[in-house]
Amino acid sequence: MYGRFHILLLTLLCSLSACTPHALREAKQTVQQSDSLWRAGQPYADSAQLAQAYETLEQWALFCPDEYAHACYHYGKLLRKKDNPVEAMQCFINATHSHTRDYHILGRVYSNMGSICHLASEYPLSYDMYAKSANMFLRNGDSINYYYALNDMAFEKALLADKTTALSLVTKIEKSHIDEKVLKKTLETKAELYLKCRHYDSAVYYASTLYDTNKSISFLIRAQAYSREGRKDSATYYAEQLLELSHDLSDVNNALYILTNDDVQKDIDAIREIAANRADIQKILKFKQGKLSKAVQLIEQDTQRKFNFSWMYYIIVTLFVVGIVIWICIRYKRKHHQLLSQQISDLESRKKQNLSQMRAQIEEKCLLFTNSTSLKTELNWNEYDTMCRCVDKHFYLTAKKLQIKNVLNEQEIRLCILTLLNFNRNQIADVLHYAPNGVGKLKYRVAQKLGIEGKNLRKYLICLAIDEPYK
């Protein structure tokens, strides 16, 4: 069990380390550049770099959901442009699973998915994708794109001859008094709706209003409407106009169909040539339709598949392993800290004990020197340097510590030594040959130099001797 956890943890770390922070930064910069060019109406030229950014951010999708969604969108659009709708659709599907809260980019993603479904003639599914796109734009507060998406929904219903739903959506757009361009798009929807519902006069009317905005649709719908009405001359005229104007294979296919069946002025050879050209185009369209159908299958599989919890299992296991490692580290550090605290406590305890012993030794020696009848001889009192060495030997270098401060003269240091020995004022006066009141003044002057009160001079000297902070 441990071996599996260990392998899983190593796998996770290796997969993350495969994508360096430098590569991640470059991927984010590529996405930012793509966004800037997109807003300026220009495509991102370096397809290889965009593909690399998409692959890099896919590894960090959990941590960079917005950047990953944008990478999916831009790379998906690039793949669509290169006539690769299957991989493009997978990119768009990945964007919908990115957990991003960028509703604008999600609206664009679903719109592209709806467009692919539309080209595959999967109109109900296309309607659903456009509905999701509209919802995303609405959540983002983007009213213009929201009503564009509503019109896309209405257009799919028009293709299905669902007059009630299509007109309901168009009416909703018209009541909004939205941008004039959006309202003109509804004219295309109405023209297509009336064509499918066999209201050919209305279809021709709305198609004629599109002449200035979308000549291809205007010519196509009029050609189809006249063809179905049996007005072959008019149908042929607009079909020929469409051929001269549009290079879209679907438009060309529809125009050639009308010319094959309605152009009574051409001879049989010309008709056969048109039919042959149409057959060639149909082969190309069939090939494209095959790829579009595969792309649509990806959506259907994504919609129908049950949620896969396996990735969550791996994450939970990985977090569990990481948690155990962190717990072990914390426990080790805590024990180490406790041990260190105990050691410090023991050191402080031993230090206090040592200080108490040193203090007791000082008091004991002070008592011996005080009761001595030959103090001056034992301390070599008349020889200052010898006396200081003797004091240092018995009292932990007290004389040297006083000398190092460099604030006391010889007589003041002698006073400090007698004070440390716990001599009273009269005893000190006798040894130093001072008057008792003179001893008080001398002690006051020494205390001032040492920065303490005169009454605490002995306490200060003991602390100095045993290296204990004076409080």
**What average pLDDT does the segment 242-265 reach?**
84
Which of 11-15, 91-95, 360-364, 374-378 shows the lowest per-residue confidence on average (mean pLDDT)?
A: 11-15
Output the pLDDT for position 151: 94
Note if the pTM is more than 0.75.
Answer: no
Output the pLDDT for position 128: 94
**What average pLDDT does the segment 291-302 reach?**
89
Output the pLDDT for position 361: 85
Q: Which amino acid is at 255?
A: A
Residue 248: is its pLDDT beyond 70?
Answer: yes
Residue 123: is its pLDDT beyond 80?
Answer: yes
Output the pLDDT for position 13: 47
More confident residue, 258 or 148: 148
Quick one: which of 61, 75, 72 has its CA closest to 15? 61
Please, is 231 exposed, middle or buried when counting C-beta atoms within 10 Å of its C-beta (0-12, 13-18, 19+)? middle
Q: Do the Cβ atoms of 216 and 246 come closer than 8 Å?
A: yes
More confident residue, 206 or 16: 206
Grade residue 107 by pLDDT with cuts at 50, 70 and 90: very high
Q: b/e per residue, 23-48, with b = 16+ CB within 10 A? A: bbeebbebbebbbeebeeeeebeeee
Residue 15: is its pLDDT beyond 60?
Answer: no
Quick one: which of 148, 153, 154, 103 has its CA closest to 128? 153
More confident residue, 135 or 470: 135
Q: Which residue has the tokens 């094959």?
A: 260
d(CA 267, CA 276): 14
Output the pLDDT for position 308: 54
Q: Do the Cβ atoms of 91 and 79 come closer than 8 Å?
A: yes
Residue 18: is its pLDDT beyond 70?
Answer: no
pLDDT tens column, 311-326: 566 688 888 888 888 9
For residue 348, CA distances in Å to 336, 338, 465 come to 18, 15, 18
d(CA 32, CA 44): 11
Assigned token pair, 180: 């004039």
Q: b/e per residue, 365-380, with b = 16+ CB within 10 A? A: ebeebeeeeebeeebe
Assigned token pair, 102: 């960028």
- What's the chain's average pLDDT? 85
Which residues have CB under 8 Å from 128's CB, separation 6+?
Answer: 114
Which residues have CB under 8 Å from 47's CB, separation 6+?
Answer: 78, 82
Grade residue 64 by pLDDT with cuts at 50, 70 and 90: confident
Q: Which residue has the tokens 């050639």?
A: 256
